[in-house]
Homo-oligomer: A and B are copies of this chain.
Amino acid sequence: MHSPAELATQFRSMGRKLTPQRQLIFSLLHNNQSHPTAESLYGVASAQMPGISLRTVYQTLNELAEMGELLLIDIGEGGTRFDPNIDEHHHAICSDCGKIRDVHVKGASSLKPNDARDFLISEVGVVFKGLCAECEARGSKRSPALQAKMSQKPKSSSK
C-alpha cells in the first residue's frame, strides 16, 4: 500500500474526498503487518475516533482493495483479512492463534501445475499452515475455533 500522503493525493485525483475517517484508516494500515479484519481495524479506529462506523471501515477497505492498494485474504476462520502489503509474498498461518505472518518463498512464482496445462495462471499463492513460535513454545493444542470462542466477549448488539 502507498503511504497515507500518497493515498491522499491519489484519492483526491480520483475525485474522492480526503476525510478524517479515511486518513485514520490509511494511517492504521500503513506498515501494518497484522492482516487485520474489518472488525479489528474498527476496534483500534474507534479508540482514536469514537463514532466512526464499521460501515465506513468496510467501505474504505473495499475502495482500497479496488484500487489495488490492499489484498484480501480468506482463511477459513473468521472474516476476510486485509493485507496492505501488495508486494509478492506468501503466508504462514498459525492454526492455533490464527496469526498470519508474511513469508517469502524461493521459486514460488515459477511453480506450475503438472496437469492442467490449459489453465492460464495469473497468480500463485503459497500458504503454510502450522504453529507459530509462540504457540509452539506454549505447546498449545487448542483449535482455532476454540481459541476464537475463548477470546470472545459476549456481544449484545453487534449486527
Contact = CB atoms under 8 A, between A and B. Distances in A.
Interface of A: 72, 74-76, 80, 90, 92, 94-95, 101-108, 111-116, 118-133, 136
A30 B155 CA distance: 41
Contacts of A132: 118-119
Contacts of A108: 111
Contacts of A113: 90, 92, 103-105, 128
A71 to B, nearest CB: 10
A76 B75 CA distance: 9
A125 B123 contact: no
Given A105-B112, A123-B128, 15 more contacts: A74-B76, A92-B113, A95-B122, A104-B114, A104-B115, A105-B111, A105-B113, A107-B107, A111-B128, A119-B131, A122-B130, A123-B129, A124-B126, A125-B128, A127-B127
